[in-house]
C-alpha cells in the first residue's frame, strides 16, 4: 500500500530505489506515528471532521498499534511502502471505511515530519540521560581523586602539575556545556509541524493549537512553508549537537588510551575489560575506548553529511530528505552506546598514585618555583630567568608542596558550581511536560 496510490503500478526498479531502507528504518518511528495520529484524530473529532464514534474507534486501534510497536510486535509488510502506509493499512483492515478517514487534513509530508520530531525529542531525552549519568560519575571521580596529582601537558610535553580531580572534573563541565547545544536541537525538535500538510496548509478547519498541546510541543511551526523547511534543519541541529558531545568523549577516549599505555601508566582497567593479542601475551588493549573514539569520529562527520544533503534544496519537500534517516538514525544509537560504555568503563578505572615523584616529572614544578619567587618580591621576568638558569645548570630542585586556591584550580575545582551549571542546563529541557502530555494520549476516552 502507498498513501499516494491511484491504482497505477510503479516500475519495480523505481520502487525498490525510492523505498530504499525505509521499511527497516521506519520501525523505530511506529510508536511516534501512532501517537501523532491519535492527536490528529482527536482534533478531527473535535472539529467535526470525524464523528465522535469514529474518532473513538480509530483512537482505540491506534493505541493498540502503539503498544504493539513498543513490544516489537509491529511489522511493516512487503506490500507497504513505509510505516505510515502500514499503520493506515492496519486501521483500514480493522475498521473498514472508518480507517480510511485517518488521513483527512494531513499529508504524508507533515505526517512524517511530526513523527520524526517526536522521535528526535525522545532520543534527545535518552542522550541527555546518558550524559547526566556520565557527568555524575565524572564528578564523583573528581571529588575522590582531587588531591591525587598527575602531570599536565601542552604540546604533548610535560608542562605543569595537575590532578586527576581536575582532569575528571574538566570533562564533567565540558558535558554541561555540550548539553547547551543539545538543548538548542531539542527546542527545534519541540515544535509542532502537524497541520502544515504538504507545506501549504489545508482548507479543512484544523486546530493546530490543539495538536500542539496534545503532543506536548513547546510551540508550533506557525508558517506552513517554514514547517516543511524544518525538515533537514532539525536533523542538522541535532547532528551538530551530537558532534559537539562526541568531540568531548572522543578527547576523553584519546586521553584514556594514552594514559593506560605502559609509557604513561596513569590509569588501568580490569583484565576482563581489555583485550589481548594473538601473539603478544603481555598485551591489555583498550579496545573499548578505541572503538568509542572511532564512533565519535563518525558522529563528528554527521553535520557535514547532513549539510551536503540539504544545502542546495529550495523550499518545499524533496525526496532527498528520506536519506537523512540512513545517516542519522544509526549515529543516534551509536551516541547512546558511547555514553553507556564510557560510564561503564569509568566505573572500573584504577588511578595510579605517586606519579609526580618520578624523576622525569621534576620540571612540572618549575612554574611553582617561579611563582614562589614572585611572591617573595622578585619581578616575574627575573624569577623566570633565574629558574631557567637553575634548570640548565642542574641546580633546580622541585618543591612538591603546592597551594592552588583560585576558582577551578587543583585546590578549588568548583565541583558544586559545575553541578549547578549542569542542573541549570537540564532544567531547560522540561521532559516531564512532554511525558505528561503523551501519557494523556494513551488514556481511554469515555464514549
Domain co-membership, 420 together with 353: yes
Place of cell 551538530: 240
Q: Is residue 122 within 8 Å of 66, Cβ to Cβ?
A: no
Q: Is residue 123 within 8 Å of 186, Cβ to Cβ?
A: no
Is residue 404 pLDDT above 60, yes or no?
A: yes
What confidence tens digit (pLDDT) does each residue in 131-184 have? 999 999 999 999 999 999 999 999 999 889 999 999 999 999 999 999 999 999
CA–CA separation, 382 vs 350, rounded Å? 41
What confidence tens digit (pLDDT) does each residue in 203-246 have? 999 999 999 999 999 999 999 999 999 999 999 999 999 999 99
Task: Indicate the average pLDDT of the chain.
Answer: 91
Cell numbers placing 72: 516489537
Residue 20 vs residue 194, higher pLDDT: 194
Domain co-membership, 42 together with 185: no
Is residue 20 pLDDT above 90, yes or no?
A: no
CATH number at residue 32: 1.10.275.10
Domain co-membership, 19 together with 167: no
CA–CA separation, 251 vs 352, rounded Å? 20
CATH number at residue 147: 1.20.200.10
Domain co-membership, 325 together with 294: yes
CA–CA separation, 412 vs 171, rounded Å? 16
Place of cell 612554574: 367
Question: What DSSP letter does each residue of 229-269 carry, written as one string?
Answer: HHHHHHHHHHHHHHHHHHHHHHHHHHHHHHHTSTTT-SEE-
Place of cell 538514525: 329
Domain boundary among 104, 136, 158: 104
Pairing of strands 191-192, 219-220: parallel
Residue 355: name the closest of 163, 169, 166, 168 by CA: 163
Cell numbers placing 362: 621534576
Helix spans in 71-163 (H): 83-95, 108-144
Place of cell 509530508: 109
Q: State the distance between the two ends of the chain, measured CA to CA, in whole angstroms.
A: 31
Cell numbers placing 222: 506557525
Is residue 4 pLDDT above 50, yes or no?
A: no
* Number of structural domains in the chain: 2
Domain co-membership, 72 together with 134: no
CA–CA separation, 42 vs 211, rounded Å? 8
Residue 42 neighbours by CB under 8 Å, 6+ apart: 55, 59, 210, 211, 214, 441
- Rounded to 10 deg, the angle between the 324-346 and 108-144 helix axes is 20
Task: Tell me the whole-structure pTM to 2 decimals.
Answer: 0.91
What confidence tens digit (pLDDT) does each residue in 379-395 have? 999 999 999 999 999 88
In-domain check, residue 237: yes
Domain co-membership, 16 together with 150: no
Report the pLDDT value the prediction gives residue 337, as an integer from 0 to 100: 97
* Domain enclosing residue 29, as ranges: 12-104
Percent of the chain with pLDDT over 70: 93
Reduced to 3 states (helix: H, G, I; strand: E, B; else coil), residue 151 is strand
Domain co-membership, 331 together with 186: yes
What confidence tens digit (pLDDT) does each residue in 33-92 have? 999 999 999 999 999 999 999 999 999 999 999 999 999 999 988 877 788 889 999 999
- Rounded to 10 deg, the angle between the 415-427 and 108-144 helix axes is 170
Is residue 8 pLDDT above 70, yes or no?
A: no
Is residue 29 pLDDT above 90, yes or no?
A: yes
Report the pLDDT value the prediction gives residue 16, as an integer from 0 to 100: 62
Reduced to 3 states (helix: H, G, I; strand: E, B; else coil), residue 160 is strand
Report the pLDDT value the prediction gives residue 77, as an integer from 0 to 100: 87
Reduced to 3 states (helix: H, G, I; strand: E, B; else coil), residue 412 is strand
CA–CA separation, 108 vs 319, rounded Å? 12
Q: Which helix (H) or strand (E) holds 175?
A: helix 164-189
Amino acid at each position: 500500500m502507498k498513501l499516494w496510490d491511484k491504482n497505477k503500478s510503479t516500475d519495480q526498479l523505481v520502487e525498490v530505489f525510492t523505498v530504499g531502507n525505509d521499511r527497516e528504518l521506519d520501525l523505530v518511528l511506529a510508536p511516534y506515528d501512532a501517537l501523532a495520529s491519535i492527536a490528529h484524530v482527536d482534533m478531527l473529532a473535535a472539529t467535526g471532521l470525524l464523528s465522535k464514534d469514529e474518532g473513538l474507534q480509530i483512537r482505540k486501534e491506534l493505541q493498540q498499534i502503539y503498544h504493539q510497536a513498543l513490544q516489537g510486535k509491529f511489522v511493516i509488510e512487503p506490500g507497504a511502502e513505509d510505516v505510515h502506509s502500514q499503520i493506515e493499512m492496519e486501521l483500514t483492515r480493522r475498521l473498514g471505511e472508518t480507517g480510511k478517514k485517518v488521513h483527512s487534513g494531513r499529508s504524508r509530508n507533515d505526517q512524517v515530519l511530526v513523527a520524526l520530531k517526536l522521535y528526535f525529542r525522545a532520543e534527545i531525552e535518552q542522550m541527555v540521560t546518558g550524559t547526566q549519568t556520565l557527568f555524575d560519575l565524572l564528578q564523583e571521580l573528581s571529588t575522590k581523586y582531587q588531591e591525587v596529582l598527575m602531570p599536565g601537558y601542552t604540546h604533548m610535553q610535560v608542562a605543569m602539575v595537575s590532578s586527576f580531580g581536575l582532569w575528571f572534573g574538566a570533562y564533567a563541565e565540558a558535558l554541561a556545556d555540550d548539553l547547551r547545544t543539545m538543548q538548542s536541537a531539542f527546542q527545534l525538535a519541540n515544535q509542532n509541524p502537524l497541520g502544515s500538510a504538504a507545506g501549504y496548509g489545508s482548507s479543512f478547519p484544523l486546530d493546530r493549537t490543539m495538536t500542539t498541546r496534545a503532543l506536548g510541543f513547546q510551540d508550533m511551526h506557525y508558517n506552513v512553508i517554514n514547517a516543511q523547511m524544518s525538515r533537514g534543519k532539525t536533523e542538522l541541529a541535532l547532528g551538530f549537537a551530537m558532534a559537539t558531545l562526541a568531540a568531548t568523549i572522543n578527547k576523553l577516549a584519546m586521553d584514556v588510551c594514552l594514559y593506560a599505555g605502559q609509557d604513561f601508566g596513569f590509569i588501568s582497567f580490569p583484565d576482563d575489560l581489555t583485550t589481548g593479542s594473538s601473539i603478544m601475551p603481555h598485551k591489555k588493549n583498550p579496545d573499548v575506548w578505541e572503538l568509542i573514539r572511532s564512533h565519535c569520529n563518525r558522529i563528528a562527520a554527521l553535520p557535514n553529511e547532513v549539510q551536503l544533503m540539504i544545502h542546495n534544496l529550495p523550499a518545499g519537500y524533496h525526496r532527498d530528505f528520506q536519506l537523512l534517516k540512513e545517516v542519522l538514525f544509526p549515529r543516534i544509537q551509536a551516541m547512546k552506546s558511547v555514553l553507556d560504555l564510557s560510564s561503564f568503563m569509568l566505573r572500573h578505572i584504577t588511578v595510579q598514585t605517586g606519579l609526580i615523584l618520578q624523576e622525569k616529572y621534576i620540571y612540572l614544578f618549575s612554574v611553582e618555583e617561579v611563582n614562589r619567587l614572585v611572591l617573595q618580591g622578585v619581578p616575574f621576568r627575573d624569577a623566570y630567568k633565574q629558574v631557567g638558569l637553575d634548570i640548565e645548570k642542574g641546580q633546580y630542585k622541585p618543591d612538591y608542596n603546592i597551594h592552588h586556591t583560585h576558582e577551578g584550580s587543583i585546590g578549588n575545582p568548583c565541583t558544586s558550581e559545575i553541578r549547578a551549571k549542569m542542573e541549570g542546563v537540564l532544567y531547560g529541557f522540561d521532559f516531564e511536560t512532554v511525558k505528561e502530555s503523551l501519557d494523556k494520549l494513551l488514556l481511554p476516552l469515555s464514549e
